[in-house]
């Protein structure tokens, strides 16, 4: 089984980029498609194992971006493209603890025989192909063996008795060729053709005048062996880890199985392949959940940065307003220090928000298999899902038990234990074998010529053509027999049966426990789904009320009204920035919860239009596969632009005016535009903040 049968899993549905904003679909060239599926191995990697494995080369990049060097060109990216890149070259990421969206930084470990613990999709995608090769190894136990031998012998030894002097000198040779076929029923059928050659010394010819010297003895043997109790039958031999020739043959000496040493029976090996395939699907499910969670985490991180920058700008405007009033004597000078401290506080929060953006992008890039210093920054541009979703829990629980790969693995393990019970009970029987052999032989002084030769000295005929004598079928022999092997007490066999029964019980309990845990995880995610959606409403209401307050304060300042409560203004600035970030976080959590709910239900592949199939891709899939290497060529098709209107784009997509005073929904801020680095905050004078973002 080739690796390409498993790497094509996502290209069936994910890489078809038919997202909103495309004027026409983009198709890959066949060369690009095949380039994405094959692993570029170094030359002579298989043929030169003694060459040193040199360290990989590190391309020359600019230093990684930091909070002090934050400006990079934006690369707009959709969730569909992230999933496409991740399934082609990404990493599964961390698992467990109910936390999604984080990559795994754990390096491979040495397990004593091999280095393991890689979560690269290009690494574990090979596992199902390895399991497929294991099936071939298990089937090889029934392959026909062809064994041929040719030997020559010279005998020259002293003798103690005159009547055996004909054995003093002898030339001998033997040719033997055997075909042995292990049968599905546990028996062995064989056919052997052999020719023996002997030439005695002169003394033997003189002593025994009728001696055929030299002589050829061609022989054809038909053999058949069959166990009658232990390991008898087709099904049991498909379960047993040993083949019909594992213990050798009674009549065919030296014949061993053609292969499959150390493998399980073919039926159990196929179960192992199903389990490997389910494990592969489980890893892909986790990969998809982590990618989508990381995508929305980056979305929330950008929004948090936007909120802190807006708070920074508002704090600076407040500082200038208080500074002007303090210079005019209408404001206490002490408040100038408070406003300046507020500016510094937001400046630190902007630095932290930038760090959060860099870390969230690093997590997403790690899941996509991309470096973090390629000179661009990933900007999520998909609109989040804000529609309420109340699934049918009963139906979802049924789907989870039926479709979660982890439950499938447990069910298959129970099936393997059932087959093991049958095997161990069969091995408890006595080993009774029947065997039979039929022999056809010939005799002659040579392998060609006449069938008989006339001897003038004796006036008799002697065998001539040995093969002709063999064809006449004059010499026949047969053998039939039984062999019984009974271990008295059957202690080992009974213990194995008991262990198999306990293993069956353990697998059944494990299956039911797995189903219970799957339902419990679904219950937890069902509650999280409802909780995260309702938090959007509360966060939005808080943000709207705070925006109304800020708007009224601005109107009062513009018309020259009395100054509002100073401390309240400072507090509201902080609260508004936190409310904007909280609403974005709630939206990101809700969209993550939608994906995780599909993950817990076992339907995240269908949720993302991905299918896992064996065999080559159908033609229509190849035609609709999108350009999955666009991150390498930078020839990406722009799916959507995020233009910034003059004066900046506020949160709701429209400026706050007297008519509404607030925004009804939280939309993408203009963080697709690169920002200048924040200046250092001097004590005097305060420079204008060149952020250029919109207002509240």
Question: Given this model, what pLDDT does residue 108 score?
Answer: 76
pLDDT in tens, 282-296: 999 999 999 999 999
Share of the chain above pLDDT 70, in %: 75
For 299-352, the pLDDT digits (tens) are: 999 999 988 988 888 888 878 878 887 888 777 778 888 888 888 888 899 999
Mean pLDDT of 530-539: 93
Above 90 in pLDDT, residue 493? yes
Q: Does residue 617 surpass a pLDDT of 90?
A: no
Q: What SS3 state is found at 693?
A: coil
Residues 124-165 have pLDDT tens digits of 888 888 888 899 999 999 999 999 999 998 877 766 655 555
Interval 420-434 mean pLDDT: 94
The encoded tokens of residue 27 equal: 């198709």
Please write the tens of the pLDDT for every residue from 375-397: 888 999 998 999 999 999 999 99
Instruction: Point out the least confidently predicted range of 362-376, 554-568, 677-691.
Output: 677-691
pLDDT at 224: 95
For 92, 154, 209, the CA distances from 212, given in Å and listed in that order, are: 78, 18, 9
Q: Which pLDDT score, from 0 to 100, does residue 459 have?
A: 57
Asked whether the predicted pLDDT for residue 169 surpasses 70, the reply is no
- Does the structure show a pLDDT above 90 at 359? yes
Beta strands in 261-400 (DSSP E): 377-380
Mean pLDDT (the chain, rounded):
78
Task: State CA 196 to chain mean position distance.
Answer: 58
pLDDT of 692 over the 50 cut: no
397-to-282, 404, 515 alpha-carbon distances in Å: 17, 10, 9
User: Distance (Å, rounded) from C-alpha 228 to C-alpha 230?
Assistant: 6
Q: Is 422 a residue whose pLDDT tops 80?
A: yes
Q: What share of the chain has pLDDT > 90, as a percent?
A: 40
The answer to whether 553 and 573 have CB atoms below 8 angstroms apart is no
Q: How confident is the model at residue 23 (pLDDT cuts 50, 70, 90)?
A: very low
pLDDT at 318: 79
The pLDDT of residue 162 is 56
Residue 406's CB is within 10 A of a number of other CB atoms, namely 18
pLDDT of residue 528: 94
Residue 455 has pLDDT above 70, yes or no: no
* DSSP H/E element including 544: helix 491-558
93-102, 155-164, 567-576, range with the lowest pLDDT: 155-164
Residue 550: pLDDT band by 50, 70, 90 thresholds? confident
pLDDT digits (tens, 9 = 90+) for 498-524: 999 999 999 999 999 999 999 999 999
Band of the pLDDT at 616, cuts 50, 70, 90?
low
Per-residue model confidence (pLDDT) at position 50: 78
Q: With 60 as the cut, is the pLDDT of residue 690 above it?
A: no
Strands annotated E in 38-133? 74-77, 109-110, 115-116
CA-to-CA separations, 21 to 32, 63, 385, 629, 665, in angstroms, rounded = 24, 34, 17, 20, 22
Task: Count Cα neighbours of 421 within 13 Å in the Cβ-side half-sphere.
Answer: 14
The residues, any chain, with a CB within 8 Å of residue 459's CB and separated by 6 or more, are none
Evaluate if residue 178 carries a pLDDT over 80: yes
**d(C-alpha 91, C-alpha 290), whole Å:** 9
């Amino acid at each position: 089984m080739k690796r390409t049968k498993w790497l094509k899993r996502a290209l069936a549905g994910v890489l078809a980029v038919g997202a909103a904003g495309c004027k026409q679909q983009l198709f890959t060239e066949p060369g690009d498609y095949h380039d994405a599926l094959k692993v570029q191995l170094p030359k002579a990697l298989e043929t030169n194992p003694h060459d040193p494995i040199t360290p990989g080369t590190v391309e020359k990049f600019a230093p990684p971006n930091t909070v002090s060097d934050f400006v990079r060109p934006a690369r707009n990216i959709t969730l569909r493209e992230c999933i496409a890149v991740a399934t082609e070259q990404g990493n599964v990421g961390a698992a467990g603890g109910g936390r999604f969206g984080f990559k795994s930084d754990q390096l491979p470990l040495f397990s004593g025989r091999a280095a393991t613990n890689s979560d690269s999709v290009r690494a574990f995608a090979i596992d199902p192909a390895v399991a497929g090769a294991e099936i071939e190894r298990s089937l090889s136990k029934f392959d026909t063996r062809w064994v041929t031998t040719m030997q020559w012998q010279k005998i020259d030894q002293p003798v103690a008795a005159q009547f055996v002097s004909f054995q003093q000198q002898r030339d001998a040779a033997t040719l033997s060729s055997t075909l042995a076929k292990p049968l599905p029923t546990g028996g062995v059928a064989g056919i052997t053709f052999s020719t023996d050659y002997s030439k005695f010394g002169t003394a033997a010819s003189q002593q025994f005048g009728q001696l055929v010297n030299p002589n050829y003895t061609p022989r054809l043997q038909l053999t058949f062996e069959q166990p009658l109790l232990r390991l008898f039958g087709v099904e049991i031999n498909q379960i047993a880890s040993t083949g019909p020739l594992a213990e050798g043959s009674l009549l065919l000496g030296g014949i061993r199985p053609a292969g499959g040493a150390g493998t399980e029976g073919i039926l159990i090996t196929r179960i192992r392949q199903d389990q490997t395939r389910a494990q592969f699907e489980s890893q892909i499910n986790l990969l998809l959940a982590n990618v989508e969670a990381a995508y929305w985490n980056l979305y929330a991180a950008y929004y948090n940065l936007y909120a802190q920058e807006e708070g920074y700008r508002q704090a600076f405007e407040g500082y200038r307003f208080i500074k002007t009033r303090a210079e005019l004597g209408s404001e206490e000078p002490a408040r100038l220090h408070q406003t300046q401290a507020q500016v510094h506080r937001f400046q630190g929060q902007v630095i932290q928000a930038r760090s959060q953006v860099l870390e969230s992008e690093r997590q997403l890039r790690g899941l996509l298999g991309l470096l973090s210093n390629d000179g661009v920054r990933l900007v999520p541009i998909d609109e989040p899902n804000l529609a309420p979703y109340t699934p049918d829990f009963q139906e979802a629980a049924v789907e989870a038990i039926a479709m979660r790969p982890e439950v499938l693995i447990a069910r298959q393990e129970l099936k393997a234990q059932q087959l093991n019970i049958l095997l161990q009970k069969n091995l408890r029987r006595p080993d009774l074998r029947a065997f039979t052999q039929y022999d056809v032989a010939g005799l002659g002084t040579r392998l060609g010529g006449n069938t008989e030769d006339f001897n003038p000295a004796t006036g008799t005929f002697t065998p001539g053509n040995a093969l002709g004598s063999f064809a006449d079928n004059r010499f026949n022999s047969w053998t039939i027999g039984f062999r019984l092997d009974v271990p008295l007490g059957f202690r080992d066999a009974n213990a194995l049966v008991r262990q198999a029964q306990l293993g069956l019980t353990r697998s059944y309990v494990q299956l039911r426990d797995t189903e219970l845990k799957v339902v419990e995880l679904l219950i937890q995610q069902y509650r999280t789904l409802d909780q995260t959606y309702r938090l959007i409403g509360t966060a939005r209401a808080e943000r709207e009320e705070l925006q109304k307050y800020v708007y009224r304060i601005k109107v009062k300042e513009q018309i020259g009204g009395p100054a509002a409560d100073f401390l309240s203004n400072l507090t509201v600035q902080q609260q508004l920035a936190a409310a904007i970030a909280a609403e974005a976080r709630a939206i990101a959590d809700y969209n993550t919860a939608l994906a995780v709910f599909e993950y817990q239900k076992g339907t995240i592949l269908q949720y993302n239009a991905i299918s896992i199939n064996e065999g080559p891709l159908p033609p229509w899939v190849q035609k609709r596969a999108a350009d999955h290497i666009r991150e390498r060529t930078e020839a990406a098709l722009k799916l959507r632009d995020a233009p910034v209107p003059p004066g900046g784009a506020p949160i709701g997509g429209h400026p706050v005016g007297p008519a509404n005073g607030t925004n009804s929904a939280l939309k993408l801020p203009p963080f697709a535009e690169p920002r200048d680095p924040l200046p250092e905050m001097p004590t005097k004078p305060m420079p204008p903040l060149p952020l250029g973002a919109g207002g509240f």
